[in-house]
A and B are shown apart, each in its own frame.
Chain A
């Protein structure tokens, strides 16, 4: 057994003291088809090698064979919890590549749907991580009750709950339907009450504190070097939010705070999502109040026969999972010469082994849950 490479152990004893466990790919806590080869000494993790690729379909190659716009619906399938922010990141990259301005109303709509996406992602996160801790079902149902309301909004706007395909280069596909903004305002106004309810049930809960506090702390310097981004980076105390650093779109017009953790343990990563959801509510209120009129797409934008000039661009946004970027090279034709996705879910797993080694096997699921991944994006 011990002669085999690290990634093809199937389970068994490598020597008298350790036990190899193949965790996944069909394990309910791995958030999809993700596998970890874990070596245990008693219950303590001494080695952990993630195994990827079960959901790999080479999205990048597919995109190189299609027109620029044809890659847009594929981006929905990356992080399928947050299709609208995926659309947005791709649109940002291509708009940089083509030097295309975005209609002002579309920028506001993008902020509104993007922050709603963040709300429903973080809500789902609260449910999932409770499931990972063994509170199977109940917390998830509370979370999904709220998430469904936001998905209903997405369906009313785009026609689909999850595969939205809504953004276009230079704007959005269609304007808001009548009554949509009132519905969004109602959900946003009621959202803090839901967060309060969730917090009353969870944040002081003794079992939750015991399972999360002090588990897998991560220092800020290590998080930066390991390429962590988004909530995981900020939970380690690093003040870095792309909405502030790049101020893409119209984010510079909104007032919001960037929450930060202190020790970077699982509890900080958990609480950070709650605090970030509250800030999203603040942004949403400002964006809904300030929504201007006008067209939702730049009249100069071409949907058909779109050929950006030769060159390259890297565009990124703060997606709910972290830094989602697209690197696009154009050779002047109607298809991207190179199409690369910078997947936050994959890169946030870089330090997974470091975080897990030394903890108990039961904590591995909580640590993985606290990073918040979607396998559609990890494997692409």
Chain B
């Protein structure tokens, strides 16, 4: 199904930057990776095109992919002492991290789905932004707020982007993989008992901010 959807987008929206992301799982739910600058147009097309009609944005979730090192084996040919040899080398390559938003779309009218749509940020900084798809699907409203709250992705064009589950004064984004829980969750920190011990222990650890 996903290939037909991709072909349909490419014929309907020439120039839109959409690529197929393969899913090795037995679920077979492959996804479409959309360039953020084309996302709103693609989303509108998916919703309104009479052959697609993905009118129901069911699920919106954030995913954090921290930077990682991938080991790769590279084979290169070299001439050593006149004889050509194959030399295998293990090279560590840095894969930059990103934050991802995944939309699961269904068509109520045509009873098809799920279509998985993804967008990626350029990096994992504290001020990353992606276009909001709430103008296309109202159902993304609270869910994008949740992704903003827990992952720290700003959604540009969102009508009411505020924290939803954590309180407004909270500074961090708990669903990021490198999140460290605070010593005390209370609004006005009042360390006591074992929490006080933890605060002391952390303050004593060199090279780490208390």
Residues on B with beta carbons closer than 8 Å to the beta carbon of A225: 55, 137-139
Please tell me if the beta carbons of B139 and A226 are within 8 angstroms of each other in the complex: yes
A61→B114 CA distance, assembly (Å): 24
Main secondary structure of the interface of A (DSSP, over half): mixed
Please tell me if the beta carbons of B26 and A314 are within 8 angstroms of each other in the complex: no
| Residue A76, interface by CB 8 Å | no
Identify which of residues 68-112 in chain B touch chain A, using a CB-to-CB cut-off of 8 Å.
102, 104, 106, 108, 111
Residues on A with beta carbons closer than 8 Å to the beta carbon of B175: 58, 60-61
Residues on A with beta carbons closer than 8 Å to the beta carbon of B150: 58, 60
Residues on A with beta carbons closer than 8 Å to the beta carbon of B165: 52-53, 56, 58, 379-380
CB < 8 Å neighbour of B61 from A340, A349, A379: A340
A-B contact count (CB 8 A): 112
- Binary CB contact string for chain B from 23 to 38 against chain A (1 if under 8 A, 0 otherwise): 1111101000000000
| Residue A330, interface by CB 8 Å | yes
| Residue B42, interface by CB 8 Å | no
Min CB gap B99→A, angstroms: 12
* Interface stretch of the complex, out of A21-29, A285-293, A303-311: A303-311
Please tell me if the beta carbons of B58 and A316 are within 8 angstroms of each other in the complex: yes
Identify which of residues 24-52 in chain A touch chain B, using a CB-to-CB cut-off of 8 Å.
52
| Residue A173, interface by CB 8 Å | no
Identify which of residues 155-171 in chain B touch chain A, using a CB-to-CB cut-off of 8 Å.
162, 164-168
A226→B56 CA distance, assembly (Å): 8
Q: Which of A8, A224, A323, A351 has the most CB of B within 10 A?
A: A224
A380→B149 CA distance, assembly (Å): 14
| Residue B57, interface by CB 8 Å | yes
Residue total for B at the interface (Cβ-Cβ under 8 A): 37
Min CB gap A346→B, angstroms: 6
Min CB gap B109→A, angstroms: 8
| Residue A347, interface by CB 8 Å | yes
| Residue A96, interface by CB 8 Å | yes
- Binary CB contact string for chain B from 111 to 136 against chain A (1 if under 8 A, 0 otherwise): 10010100000000000000000000
Min CB gap B180→A, angstroms: 12
| Residue A342, interface by CB 8 Å | yes
| Residue B141, interface by CB 8 Å | yes
A351→B64 CA distance, assembly (Å): 29
Please tell me if the beta carbons of B104 and A314 are within 8 angstroms of each other in the complex: yes
| Residue A7, interface by CB 8 Å | yes
CB < 8 Å neighbour of B27 from A60, A311, A323, A340: A311
Given A227-B138, A314-B104, A327-B102, A99 and B57 touching (CB < 8 A)? no
Please tell me if the beta carbons of A311 and B138 are within 8 angstroms of each other in the complex: no
A164→B168 CA distance, assembly (Å): 35
Residues on A with beta carbons closer than 8 Å to the beta carbon of B111: 240, 245
Please tell me if the beta carbons of B138 and A96 are within 8 angstroms of each other in the complex: no
Identify which of residues 286-337 in chain A touch chain B, using a CB-to-CB cut-off of 8 Å.
308-314, 316, 323, 325, 327, 329-330
Please tell me if the beta carbons of B168 and A347 are within 8 angstroms of each other in the complex: no
Please tell me if the beta carbons of A329 and B174 are within 8 angstroms of each other in the complex: no
Min CB gap B186→A, angstroms: 15
A74→B46 CA distance, assembly (Å): 35
| Residue A5, interface by CB 8 Å | yes
Please tell me if the beta carbons of B25 and A311 are within 8 angstroms of each other in the complex: yes
Identify which of residues 221-237 in chain A touch chain B, using a CB-to-CB cut-off of 8 Å.
222, 224-229
Residues on B with beta carbons closer than 8 Å to the beta carbon of A238: 108
| Residue B142, interface by CB 8 Å | yes
A53→B142 CA distance, assembly (Å): 12
Please tell me if the beta carbons of A99 and B27 are within 8 angstroms of each other in the complex: yes
Please tell me if the beta carbons of B55 and A224 are within 8 angstroms of each other in the complex: yes
Given A53-B165, A225-B139, A327-B61, A311 and B174 touching (CB < 8 A)? no
Identify which of residues 325-380 in chain A touch chain B, using a CB-to-CB cut-off of 8 Å.
325, 327, 329-330, 338, 340, 342, 346-347, 349-351, 379-380
Extra contacts, 18 of them, besides A222-B138, A227-B58, A327-B59 (Cβ < 8 A), are A5-B162, A5-B168, A7-B162, A53-B166, A56-B165, A58-B174, A61-B174, A245-B106, A245-B111, A308-B25, A309-B24, A310-B24, A311-B25, A312-B25, A314-B29, A314-B116, A316-B58, A349-B142
- Chain B residues engaging chain A, CB cutoff 8 angstroms: 23-27, 29, 55-59, 61, 63-64, 102, 104, 106, 108, 111, 114, 116, 137-143, 150, 162, 164-168, 174-175
